[in-house]
Amino acid sequence: LDGIGKVQYARRGQDLSSDLETAIGAAGGSDAGWLGSDQPSLIVLDQAEEAITQGADGEMDALADRLRELFARRPSDSKARLILSFRKEYLAEIETLMKARLPELTTHLFLETLSHKAIRQVVLGPVRSAATRDQYHLRISGEFAEFLANLLQNSRGSVATVLQIVLRRMWEEG
């Protein structure tokens, strides 16, 4: 995320449109602030598939309508970006909706499985910054990062998901 000014991450809460509004407020204070900022700004809406599996009818349609409204007003030089993240099993359903409603805004980015090196970077990332390390009293050894990278690279599960669970538990117990 080099070069990104502000990054707002939001897991789906009760409603993706509400989550988007909260993230916009945190990223720029308003629609115009987020879309017109001089700094690159990224909003990530994660677990969007839950709008299909757990949401009310029309939740994805409402999000598509709000995105169309937002991006219709976006200045041509806008540095604002939005990532809608979801499990691949829902690609066809979400893609069909987004291409029908927002064809000019839809771009695919498929994430590759994390490599051994990437897993080490994720594990050790927070302790590389002295400010973060000191503020949160973090200590993670290179040996632990290597152990975790080896373990996850040899698993058949979703590496990113397992890594997220392990690191979250470490953080909570820390």
Residue 5: per-residue pLDDT: 67
Contact (CB, 8 A) for 80 and 34: yes
* Model confidence at 20: pLDDT above 90: yes
Residue whose token pair is 């897991």: 11
C-alpha–C-alpha distance, residues 170 and 51, integer Å: 29
Q: Which amino acid is at 58?
A: G
Listed residue (12, 88, 9, 98) closest to 56, CA to CA? 12
Q: Is 174 helix (H, G, I), strand (E, B) or coil?
A: coil
Using 50, 70 and 90 to split pLDDT, how confident is the model at 174?
low
Using 50, 70 and 90 to split pLDDT, how confident is the model at 151?
confident
Residue 1: per-residue pLDDT: 44
Residue 79: per-residue pLDDT: 87
Note if the pTM is more than 0.95: no
pLDDT in tens, 76-111: 888 888 888 888 888 899 888 888 888 777 666 666
Residue 16: per-residue pLDDT: 93
Using 50, 70 and 90 to split pLDDT, how confident is the model at 14?
confident
